[in-house]
Amino acid sequence: MNYLIIGNGAAGITAAETIRQHDPRGQITILSAEPSLMYSRPGLAYVISGEIPPQQVIARTREWYADLRLELVHGRAQSLDVHNRIVTLADGRVLPYHKLLIATGARAVPPPYPGSDLDGVVYLDTLEGTKELLKKARRGKRGVVIGGGITALEMVEGLAQRGVDTHYFLRRDRLWSQVFNEAESRLLAEKMHHHGVHIHTNTEATEILGNWRHKVRAVRLQNGEEFNCNLFGVAIGVKPQLELVKDTPIQTDRAILVNEFLQSNIPTVYAAGDCAQVYDRWSDKHLLDVLWPSAIATGRAAALNMVEQPTPYQKGSPFNVCLLFGLHITIIGQISPDRQAKDDFAEIQHLSRGSSEAWFTFPRNYQSAWAKSGSHTLRLALGGGNGHGRTIVGALIMGEQTLADPLRALIENQVDATPLLSYLQSDRETLHREIMRLSLSVIRYP
Ligand SMILES: Cc1cc2nc3c(=O)[nH]c(=O)nc-3n(C[C@H](O)[C@H](O)[C@H](O)COP(=O)(O)OP(=O)(O)OC[C@H]3O[C@@H](n4cnc5c(N)ncnc54)[C@H](O)[C@@H]3O)c2cc1C
């Protein structure tokens, strides 16, 4: 059997490794458009901040590929002929296959206004791009970063650490507004100010302006003013890389549509990772999930199905850990910033503890518990009484992280959290102890 995997990232590499475990004789070729060996994309955040050198994100050695007899081909796949089962590269080479996995990932979206092609517009999404960014981020420069999520925050931190005079433009009045509540945003903002970052809320750029050498010199703001800068960092989202399947019969929506076996509408073609939109039987929807653990899990499931071991993929709870400006943050499951429920969480109630230390319940049905002491906070989102008791559906932990694993276990195992309810209004230590106690039902501590 001849397996071709387009993509040398988390999904592609996991798939290759899994296929080899189950098919010792098959021919496995991995195609990569990038010059390096497989690397950790999340690790780029630590490269830009200077915590690790660029070579430390390389996650596989040449020997590893050789030991598993994986042939790594560097080149860009340009066209796909699903009838004759061949992939043609940009340089004209042709790779045939029996089974194909497309794991081409996603790339940063450019800003939607003039000037995005200027020298000095930078992204944090590939190793080569990050090296380029580092060359440009010299002390004494003035940088603007746009984007409301984690990658923008990581870029802001990195540039500030490199001595760039860093200005963060926020469309709204809160950091990571899809996730943080006001207090969490304030806590991180304090750390950012302390590191010399200038946060400009309700501020939007409308154009990037260049000088005669085609280099960034300023941005134009919504009010018409110019704001001088020579670096413009963009992290406004990612877009699955779908160019390869454009003129093929493979069905796409926001990404390549695959069933729960990671198989596209063409039975010999599978997709995994950031470029796949996977059917989820629980929600009856095709979901896009651009996260590292999902890339690994879908890569593994796709491989098992490619080696004829039917394995449906089941989406796990979203789980993200990051370290921003010295603050550890873990986000598990469904966590919404606002008191108001989204439609999907109509049964969730919101319970919040204000600075007065008094707990209170909001009138809406959405509820979460949130406790703050110093720079440590804990927010829990509780599911409603749906016949299975009250489950914790999400948690956001800032600072002290002891509860991260216990809460993840409680959320993933949908443990009935009813015994916790009477402790939500207790002091932090008591709530902490009771969460640990409840987690004993699903975690075995050494
Ligand atoms: C800065 C940063 C921080 C992140 N932090 C986190 C985090 O904290 N937690 C988290 O869960 N996720 C994080 N992510 C997201 C995570 O890295 C991705 O979800 C994951 O890497 C996706 O893996 P993938 O294998 O699908 O795609 P990728 O890792 O993007 O790999 C795609 C591969 O396809 C190749 N390719 C693409 N097109 C072609 C072509 N036409 N021909 C040949 N090869 C091609 C590329 O060269 C590459 O090898 C972060 C991402 C970035 C950029």
**Quick one: 196 and 91 in the same domain?**
no
Nearest protein CA to atom 52 of ligand 1, as residue: 42
**Quick one: 7 and 73 in the same domain?**
yes
| Structural domain contains residue 168 | yes
| Structural domain contains residue 143 | yes
| Structural domain contains residue 115 | no
Q: Tens digits of per-residue pLDDT, 40-64?
A: 999 999 999 888 899 999 999 999 9
Question: Total structural domains in the chain?
Answer: 3
| Structural domain contains residue 23 | yes
- Return the ligand 1 atom nearest residue 75 CA: 43
Find out whether 29 and 3 touch, Cβ atoms under 8 Å. Answer: yes
Strand partners, 392: 382
**Quick one: 298 and 327 in the same domain?**
no
**Quick one: 367 and 274 in the same domain?**
no
Measured in Å, residue 169 CA sits from the centre of ligand 1 at: 25
Query: Which band of pLDDT confidence, cut at 50, 70 and 90, is reported for residue 446?
Result: low
Q: What is the DSSP string of 366-388?
A: --EEEEEETTEEEEEEE---SSS
Query: Which band of pLDDT confidence, cut at 50, 70 and 90, is reported for residue 243?
Result: very high
**Quick one: 329 and 429 in the same domain?**
yes
Distance CA 271, CA 273 (A): 7
Choose which residue among 65, 130, 274, 288 to substitute to test ligand 1 binding: the one with the highest number of ligand atoms within 8 A of its C-beta. Answer: 274
* Residue 321, pLDDT score: 87
* Residue 31, pLDDT score: 98
**Quick one: 135 and 93 in the same domain?**
no
Which of 17-26, 98-107, 400-409 bottoms out in mean pLDDT, i.e. has the lowest?
A: 400-409
- Return the ligand 1 atom nearest residue 130 CA: 1
Measured in Å, residue 277 CA sits from the centre of ligand 1 at: 15
Among 186, 181, 185, CA closest to 353: 181
Measured in Å, residue 41 CA sits from the centre of ligand 1 at: 6
Q: Which residues line ligand 1 (CB under 6 A)?
A: 6-12, 31-34, 41-42, 44-45, 76-77, 103-105, 124-125, 151, 154, 241, 244, 273-274, 290-293, 295, 320, 322
* Residue 387, pLDDT score: 57
**Quick one: 131 and 142 in the same domain?**
yes
Q: Tens digits of per-residue pLDDT, 180-225?
A: 888 889 889 999 999 999 999 999 999 999 999 999 999 999 999 9
**Quick one: 299 and 329 in the same domain?**
no
Paired tokens of 69: 């007899």
* Residue 338, pLDDT score: 55
Measured in Å, residue 438 CA sits from the centre of ligand 1 at: 36
- Return the ligand 1 atom nearest residue 7 CA: 34
Who has greater pLDDT, 189 or 355? 189
Nearest protein CA to atom 2 of ligand 1, as residue: 42
CATH assignment at residue 260: 3.50.50.60
Of 15-19, 132-136, 334-338, 422-426, which has the strongest mean pLDDT? 15-19
Paired tokens of 300: 């593994």
Among 433, 324, 313, 319, CA closest to 375: 324
**Quick one: 181 and 230 in the same domain?**
yes
* Residue 89, pLDDT score: 98
Q: Is the pLDDT of residue 253 over 80?
A: yes
| Structural domain contains residue 342 | yes
Q: Which residues contact 230 (CB under 8 A, 6 or more apart)?
A: 120, 141, 142, 143, 215, 216, 217
Q: Tens digits of per-residue pLDDT, 286-342?
A: 888 888 989 999 999 999 999 999 999 988 778 888 889 988 899 998 777 654 444
Q: Is the pLDDT of residue 144 over 90?
A: yes
**Quick one: 150 and 68 in the same domain?**
no
Measured in Å, residue 34 CA sits from the centre of ligand 1 at: 11
**Quick one: 97 and 244 in the same domain?**
yes
Distance CA 125, CA 33 (A): 14
* Residue 381, pLDDT score: 81
Question: What is the average per-residue pLDDT within 229-255?
Answer: 96
**Quick one: 164 and 224 in the same domain?**
yes
Distance CA 104, CA 34 (A): 11
Measured in Å, residue 91 CA sits from the centre of ligand 1 at: 23
Q: What percent of the chain has pLDDT over 90?
A: 64
pTM over 0.85? The answer is yes
* Residue 230, pLDDT score: 93
Which of these three, 236, 252, 279, is where a domain ends? Answer: 236
Structural domain containing residue 418: 322-439
Question: What is the average per-residue pLDDT within 417-445?
Answer: 82
* Residue 208, pLDDT score: 97
Taking all residues of the chain, what is their mean pLDDT, rounded to a whole number? 87
Distance CA 208, CA 249 (A): 38
| Structural domain contains residue 260 | yes
Measured in Å, residue 276 CA sits from the centre of ligand 1 at: 12
* Residue 398, pLDDT score: 87
Q: What is the DSSP string of 293-361?
A: HHHHHHHHHHHHHHTT----------EEEEEETTEEEEEEE---SSSSPPGGGTT-B-EEE-TTS-EEE
Distance CA 110, CA 233 (A): 10
Measured in Å, residue 237 CA sits from the centre of ligand 1 at: 13
| Structural domain contains residue 408 | yes
Which of these three, 236, 261, 282, is where a domain ends? Answer: 236
- Return the ligand 1 atom nearest residue 241 CA: 38
Measured in Å, residue 274 CA sits from the centre of ligand 1 at: 7
Which of these three, 306, 330, 364, is where a domain ends? Answer: 306
Nearest protein CA to atom 27 of ligand 1, as residue: 105
| Structural domain contains residue 372 | yes
